[in-house]
Chains A and B, each alone.
Chain A
Amino acid sequence: MFRTTLLTLAMTVLLPTVAFADPTAEELLKKYDSVMGPENFSATILMTAHRDDGTTRAYKMSMLKKGDDKFRATFAEPAAVRGQEMLRQGDNLWVYMPNLKRAVRLANRDSFQGGDFNNADVLRVNYQADYSAKVIADSGRADAWLIELHAKTKEAAYDMIKLWMRKSDSQPVKGEYYTASGKMLRAAEFSDFKPFSGLVRPGKISMKNMLATQRYSTMTWDAMDSKVNPPSGKFVLDDLGR
Chain B
Amino acid sequence: MRNLALIMGCLLLAMPVWAQDAVVPADAVTPDAATPDTSMPEEPPPAEPLVKVRANGFLDTRTTGAYASVGHLLPADDVAHLANLTEGNIQLKLDWGDKGTGVADASFLFQKGGLYYGNDGTGERLRLADHDVSMYRPSAVLSEFYGTYNFHDHFNLTVGKKRIVWGPGLANNPTDLLNPAKDPTDPTMQRAGSWLVRAEAPFDLFTLSFVAAGKVTRQFGGIPGGLVYYPDAHPATQYDKYGNAQSDGYDTRPHYALAARAYALWKETDWNLYWFQTQQYNDAFNYKNRVGLSASHVFFNALELHVEAVGYTGSSKAYFDSSCIGSVSAFQGCGMAGKTPGGYTQIDDPGVRVKALAGGRWQFGDNASFTFEYLYNGEGYNSQEFSNFAQVASLRPQLLSLMDTLASAHVSLPGNALSFLSPTSNTDSGAPQKFTFEPMRRHYAFFTYLHTMIADDWNVNTVVLLGLEDLSGQIAPQVTWLTREWLNLTLGGLYTIPGVKSLGAQVGDVRYTENGMQPTMWRLFFSARVFY
Q: A residues bordering B, Cβ < 8 Å?
A: 30-31, 34-35, 38-40, 42, 49, 51-53, 57-58, 76, 78-80, 82-83, 89-93, 97-102, 104-111, 114, 154-155, 169, 194-201, 223, 225-233, 235-239, 242
Q: Which one of B33, B168, B270 contacts A38 once the chains associate, using CB atoms below 8 Å?
A: B33
B153: CB under 8 A from chain A? yes
Q: B203 contacts which chain A residues (CB < 8 A)?
A: 236
Asked if B93 contacts A83 (CB within 8 A), the reply is: yes
Q: Are A39 and B42 in contact (CB under 8 A)?
A: no
What is the CB-to-nearest-CB distance from A208 to chain B, in angstroms, rounded to a whole number? Answer: 16
**Whole-angstrom distance between the Cβ of A92 and the nearest chain B Cβ:** 6
The answer to whether B301 touches A237, judged by C-beta atoms less than 8 angstroms apart, is no
Nearest 6 A/B pairs, CB to CB: A114-B453, A78-B485, A79-B531, A229-B26, A99-B188, A38-B33
> Of A38, A101, A231, which contacts B163 at CB under 8 A?
A101
With A and B bound together, what is the CA distance between A82 and B55 in angstroms? 10
Q: Given A52-B456, A233-B154, answer yes or no on A105-B23 (Cβ-Cβ < 8 Å).
A: no
Contacting residue for A34 out of B22, B33, B209, B453, CB 8 A:
B33
| Other-chain contact of A199, B35, B45, B58 (Cβ < 8 Å) | B35
Contact B301 A107 (CB under 8 A): yes
Chain B positions within 8 Å of A, measured between CB atoms, are 22-27, 29-30, 32-37, 40, 42, 45, 54, 56, 58, 91, 93, 98, 101, 144, 148, 150, 153-154, 163, 165, 168, 170, 187-188, 191, 193, 200, 202-204, 207, 209, 263, 265, 268, 270, 296-298, 301-304, 306, 363, 365, 367, 452-453, 456, 482, 485-486, 488, 531-532
Q: List 16 A-B contacts (CB under 8 A).
A: A31-B32, A78-B531, A79-B531, A89-B204, A92-B298, A104-B170, A106-B304, A107-B298, A194-B42, A195-B40, A198-B37, A199-B34, A199-B35, A227-B26, A232-B204, A233-B154
- Pair A110/B35 contact, Cβ less than 8 Å: no
Most B C-beta atoms less than 10 A away, residue of A78, A90, A98, A195: A195
| B165 contacts A242, C-beta separation under 8 Å | no
The answer to whether A80 and B42 touch across the interface, beta carbons within 8 angstroms, is: no
Given A42-B23, A195-B40, A198-B36: A80 in contact with B263 (beta carbons within 8 A): no
A242 / chain B contacts, CB cutoff of 8 Å = 101, 148
The answer to whether A107 and B363 touch (CB under 8 A), given A80-B486, A231-B98, A236-B203, is yes
A121-B238 Cα distance, complex, nearest whole Å: 60
A109-B302, A195-B37, A200-B37 given; A237·B29 CB < 8 A: no
Smallest CB separation, B517 vs chain A (Å): 29
B30 — which chain A residues lie within 8 A by C-beta?
34, 38-39
CB of B301 within 8 A of CB of A200, answer no
In the assembled complex, the Cα of A188 lies from the Cα of B90 at a distance in Å of: 39
Q: Is the CB of A238 within 8 A of B191?
A: no
| Interchain nearest-CB distance for A184 vs B (Å) | 16
Complex Cα–Cα for A99 and B187 (A): 8
- Residues in B with CB closer than 8 Å to A111 are 367, 453
CB-CB under 8 A from A114, the residues of chain B are 367, 452-453, 456
Residues of A within 8 A of B150 (CB): 233
The closest CB in chain A to the CB of B170 belongs to A104
Query: Once the chains bind, are B153 and A231 in contact (CB under 8 Å)?
Result: yes
